[in-house]
Chain A
Amino acid sequence: MPITTTHYILLSAALFTIGVVGVMVRRNIIIIFMSIELILNAVNINLIAFSQQLQNGIGQVFAIFVIAVAAAEAAVGLGIILAFYRNKETVNIDEMNVMRS
């Protein structure tokens, strides 16, 4: 059976779900951030699979934008984690229930 775009999309859906599980179940905020990276990668797989299906590069261009956004998100997010950790000495998301520190 040849590998079609459907296969890629199912793979992407599964990866997406694993990411969602990570976000919902884990309490360590760093793991949650990594789960979000997984989700973004699932999206990228989709975009590139479509790009191949449609025989043009637009999907890949979007994937580049997604990677750029992911880099920005990681930088700011990790900055927030560090700032938070400095004040509260924890990375548990359940303890992050106040906006002021």
Chain B
Amino acid sequence: MAQAIAFYFIAACILGFAVLVVSTKDTVHSVLFLVLDFLFVAALYVLLGAEFLAAIQILVYAGGIVVLYLFVVMLVNLKRPPEAHSDPHRRTMLGFLLAGAVLVEVGAIAIYGFSQPAMVPVPGAAMPVTGNTAQIGWLLYTSYLIPFEIASMLLLVAMIGAIVLAKREL
């Protein structure tokens, strides 16, 4: 019962703030709603028993990525509203329709998938460690070591790329 209340509350907040993110006129407010949205997503992770990921979500998304967004919004100190110029060939309604189609499709798949016999838990290879954090660490440094290294390379490349892009003269 408590779990259901928590879920519905968090879900409503997530969706509500997400709608505000894409609908607010002021970009700074939009960024703020995005932060709130991420905080509630982190709460959802806690509900799902992934505390480590919840902390990472706040640390990386709220503490890092969105600060970057805020920074850029403040730098791009918009003198004229970016929506003022509109492309006559743009079809806004089509966008809504396509998005609706995506929703119907994904929802249908989800409901169909779970009308089938329920998925059975597939425990991964036996791990010598317990606890959410330790398990993730174990998986990252054994089965998923190579993806992990590639991810770190990706971050390095992105870092260099961002510096090259943002710097006026090298």
Contacts and interface: CB of A to CB of B under 8 A. Distances in A.
Contacts of A49: 48
Contact of A28 (B27, B113, B139): B27
A72 B44 contact: no
Given A71-B64, A95-B85, A25 B95 contact: yes
Contact of B90 (A5, A16, A94): A94
Given A8-B48, A25-B22, A91 B96 contact: no
Nearest to B12: A11
B114 to A, nearest CB: 4
Given A22-B22, A37-B34, A71-B65, A15 B53 contact: no
Interface string B11-26: 1001100110110000
Interface string B139-170: 11001100110011011011101111110100
Interface string A1-43: 1111111111101111111111011111111011101100100
Given A70-B65, A75-B161, A81 B76 contact: yes
Given A35-B21, A51-B50, A57 B162 contact: no
Contacts of B85: 27, 90, 92, 94-95
Interface of A: 1-11, 13-22, 24-31, 33-35, 37-38, 41, 44-45, 48-49, 51-58, 60-61, 63-65, 67-76, 78-83, 85-86, 89-92, 94-95
Given A11-B44, A58-B139, A76-B162, 6 more contacts: A17-B100, A27-B86, A30-B30, A54-B121, A57-B138, A61-B139
